[in-house]
Chain A
Amino acid sequence: GAVVSQHPSRVICKSGTSVKIECRSLDFQATTMFWYRQFPKQSLMLMATSNEGSKATYEQGVEKDKFLINHASLTLSTLTVTSAHPEDSSFYICSARGLKTSTMNTEAFFGQGTRLTVV
């Protein structure tokens, strides 16, 4: 299957700083990437959908100015958590779809996730 690499896997940052998370498709061109957030012992919630070269579409309740998404190339999308606070501590995970995986009935390919802890 297709490979999606997410980096870093863990990050601890101080309150008020910004953190960038990268999501790369290693062996296919990702025309669409999805960002999810998962709080402890909860399910994954879709935050935003980004299409290469265009602005991301955010889910209701997700602040676009706080969670900046850039999908400037077909292999890389980044999520920047700006002015992070302890309540932003969570598990962030990306998923990618591309030209070869663009049919509806294929599995989604996920990165390994990033554990963000804001202290």
Chain B
Amino acid sequence: SQQGEEDPQALSIQEGENATMNCSYKTSINNLQWYRQNSGRGLVHLILIRSNEREKHSGRLRVTLDTSKKSSSLLITASRAADTASYFCAGMDTGRRALTFGSGTRLQVQP
């Protein structure tokens, strides 16, 4: 499967700052999901945005989706040291129901 791209690959910020991660994908999707993964651990689902939605909020998270550009962004506001993790976008391919993951962004939040 063709993997999506995320940028930046790595991001280091200070606690309290906002973190923005971008994702581009290649196929047609039904929805796009964002996951967090702490080092060596499993995936934690953060938020799902449907293909007919443009923006969605959940707590300190804001996700946008632009299907014309095949891109999405994840904004984490007022970051905390505990937000340090890798973040992946994943698009659900139309018809296949499998997720295609982006390359990921490693976020480091300095206390």
B-binding residues in A (CB < 8 A): 1, 32, 34, 36, 41-46, 49, 59, 91, 93, 95, 97, 104-108, 110-113, 115
Contacts and interface: CB of A to CB of B under 8 A. Distances in A.
A115 B104 contact: no
Contact of A46 (B45, B98, B102, B104): B98
A44 B88 CA distance: 9
Which of A43, A44, A104 gathers most chain B CB within 10 Å?
A43
A97 to B, nearest CB: 6
Contacts of A111: 42
Contacts, number: 61
Kindly list the 6 A-B residue pairs having the minimum CB-CB distance in the complex, ordered from nearest.
A104-B30, A112-B42, A44-B101, A107-B45, A113-B42, A43-B101
A43 B40 contact: no
Contact of B40 (A45, A46, A91, A108): A91
Contact of A104 (B40, B42, B45, B97): B97
B103 A107 contact: no
A107 to B, nearest CB: 5
Nearest to A10: B40
Contacts of A44: 43, 88, 90, 99, 101
B3 A45 contact: yes
A29 to B, nearest CB: 16
